[in-house]
Amino acid sequence: MSAIHVLSPKNFKDYELIDCGDFEKLERFGKYVTIRPEPQAIWPKVFNAKDWEKEAHVKFIARSSSSGEWKKLKTMPDQWEIAYNAQLAGGSKQAELKFRLGLTAFKHVGVFPEQAVNWDKIYSFLYTLEKPKFLNLFAYTGGASLAARAAGADVTHVDSIKQVLTWANENMQKSGLDNIRWMLDDALKFVKKEQRRGNFYQGIILDPPSYGHGPAGEKWKLEENIADMMQSVLQILDPEKHLLILNAYSLGFSALVPENLLQGYAKKHKSTLEIGELCLPSKSGMRLPLGVWGSLRKV
């Protein structure tokens, strides 16, 4: 059985989790502080609730399980920009990734900061390879795609929402990068097409939602579809050199789930298998769990 590693990003100067509790989180993105719902934060807040609102610029008010609206507590723009310096192991080289953030109707602002750990992994791994191919599935606004492209990879970015692809393209341009391949497609369908074409990738990351829909209304449910997805993904992973990262943000999922999905491939191809949790440490001392992960690595 693999050891369970708990990872959190370091040196993310434009992001800070200030406090979390009572099903909310208080976060700083650049100059601006937000209050957002957080179903994992089941413990009491450490800081006073009045202090939260005094510090925050904006608070998300949920109107349903999937949407809501923002209440501004201080003057701030609807869109702004932050940056993250992806770095090689040891910090010998960095790549500045830039993100346009915005107040969406779905409580998201355009970046999942806990994923910065994976951006560093991807950047460090691909930088050592000659002309690697990288696939980002359920790719959102493209942090992993930017890190891979900055490392010199041929990047394919797959998402089912056209507006999100446009947003990711904007982040690419802000980061001074180019030539990412944008694919508006259902992730599972795309992987199966790549399998039939005989294409292989040295790097793959997937961060699937618990629930979702493809561009043609295809239904995705993590518990029902993840096994099929992983079987297909592993068929297009280069068996000689590879880094695969599977994230699963789902209440109740154990890190043993990605271990069980990946251990057969690891044994067959002599890959290093690691599993664990992603978390964000807060200024108040709490650590916020944000999903489990598993990775395969072979160099």
Query: Domain holding 229: CATH number?
Result: 3.40.50.150
Q: Quick one: pLDDT at residue 125?
A: 97
**Are 276 and 7 in contact, with CB atoms under 8 Å apart?**
yes
Structure tokens at 78: 């609807």
What domain range is 56 assigned to? 4-298
Q: What is the number of structural domains in the chain?
A: 1
pLDDT, averaged per 10 consecutive residues of the chain (299 residues), comes to: 88 97 98 96 96 96 90 97 90 90 96 97 96 97 98 97 97 98 97 98 95 87 93 98 93 90 98 97 97 97
Q: Quick one: pLDDT at residue 208?
A: 93
Cβ neighbours for 242, distance < 8 A, ≥ 6 positions apart = 201, 202, 203, 204, 271, 296, 297, 298
- As a whole number of angstroms, the distance between CA 124 and CA 128 comes to 7
- In angstroms, the Cα distances linking 52 to 28, 171, 245, 299 are 12, 30, 35, 46
What type of residue sits at position 13? Answer: K
